[in-house]
Amino acid sequence: MRKRFWKIEYSYTLIVIFTIILFMIPTSFSSKNARFISTWNEAYTKLDYIFTAMSAQADADIIRGLKNAQTSDVREYYMMMIAKSYLDVADAGRITKNYHPLYMNGNRVAENDVYFFENYYIHPETDIIIGIKDLENKDDRSPGFIMLVDLNGIKKPNMWGKDIYGINIFLDGKITPLGYDWSVDTMKKDCSEGGTGVSCSHYYRIGGNFSE
């Protein structure tokens, strides 16, 4: 009888522990998301300052080369020439393997997607990963480049809207978060487990919350 009572007591203990773990898991994920969002907002503020400074101080020859470049590769080269000293990635190696960003819905970013980047650069001290991509068919009112920022580098989840965010870069030095020209309803749908997570870059900055 005593042995049976011990088994019942033991079973109740396991149930209690399991219940506590279940309650802790969502909180853990929520806290992690909140930290990424906070870090992204801080990073965006710094990027805004950096690109404003870059546009004011960049070498005239580099700016001329950027505007006159005939191919995407050459434009990306000149943009990296301007950005690397400000972003401290001058001596950092490119990442071309073992780094495969995902959308929030779990799909891998495909090579023909707008948000696929040929080359990634890693900051040697913070391990932050950045990618810069030239945008074709642009005019003076459209962004010339987009930039990817992975806040915790090669570490998982490497996912848009989680640890990956992005900005539009205009040739006058202005930047905007990706998704800034989307409607709130579209951003809310995209910034969820069924969407890409790309527009979270702007959605979180205007106070939006992750939607399951």
More confident residue, 34 or 84: 34
Q: What is the pTM of this model?
A: 0.74
Q: Give pLDDT, residue 101.
A: 96
CA-to-CA dists, residue 128 to 98, 151, 178, 191, 207, angstroms: 15, 5, 18, 22, 24
pLDDT in the model for residue 126: 78
In whole angstroms, give the CA distance from residue 45 to residue 72.
Answer: 27
Cα(first)–Cα(last) distance of the chain, in Å? 48
Is residue 58 a contact partner of residue 169, using CB atoms and an 8 Å limit? no
Mean pLDDT of the chain: 76
d(CA 191, CA 156): 18
Exposed e or buried b for every residue in 152-163, given b needs 16+ CB within 10 A?
Answer: bbeeebbbbbbb
Name beta bridge partners: 102: 108, 159
- Is omega for the bond preceding 101 within 30 degrees of 0, making it cis? no
Domains of the chain by residue range: 2-206
pLDDT: which is higher, 65 or 117: 117
Q: By mean pLDDT, which of 88-97, 115-124, 129-138, 160-169 is the weakest?
A: 88-97
DSSP result, 26-43 = HHHHHHHHHHHHHHHHHH
% the chain with pLDDT above 70: 63
- The Cα 108–Cα 80 span in angstroms is 25
